[in-house]
Each structure stands twice: as C-alpha cells, then as structure tokens.
Amino acid sequence: MDLKNKRVIALGERDGIQGDAIAKIAKSAGADVILEVTHCFV
C-alpha cells in the first residue's frame, strides 16, 4: 500500500495491535503519522 503524502492517525488497543506498531508500519509505507494512541477499550 502506498501512503506517500498521506496523513495517518494510528489508533491502537492495549490487548490488540498497539498504536506504535501501526504508526511504524504507516511510516514505513511513506505516511506522515500525526497522532499515535493506544487505549484500553473495555
């Protein structure tokens, strides 16, 4: 997936895929990560 010149908000979950992992993948695809958050959704 080509995310060059796209802005990404990485919303992660504590028990699932965490926000920092999503942000790293998006950055490696060329995105500009503007927000990275990991929450616990109960």
- Contact between 39 and 11 under an 8 Å Cβ cutoff? The reply is yes
Residue 22 lies in a domain: yes
Residue 41 lies in a domain: no
Residue 25 lies in a domain: yes
Number of structural domains, the chain?
A: 1
- DSSP classification of residue 4: T
- Please report the pLDDT score of residue 6 as a whole number: 96
Residue 2 lies in a domain: no
pLDDT of 2 over the 90 cut: no
- Please report the pLDDT score of residue 31 as a whole number: 96
Residue 42 lies in a domain: no
Q: Kind and range of the H or E element at 35? A: strand 32-39
The whole-number average pLDDT for the span 12-27 is 95
- Please report the pLDDT score of residue 1 as a whole number: 76
Taking the model in full, what pTM does it have? 0.84
Residue 29 lies in a domain: yes
- Please report the pLDDT score of residue 35 as a whole number: 97
Domain span at residue 30?
A: 7-35
The whole-number average pLDDT for the span 19-41 is 95
3-state SS string for 8-32: EEEEEECCCCCHHHHHHHHHHCCCE
- Please report the pLDDT score of residue 33 as a whole number: 97
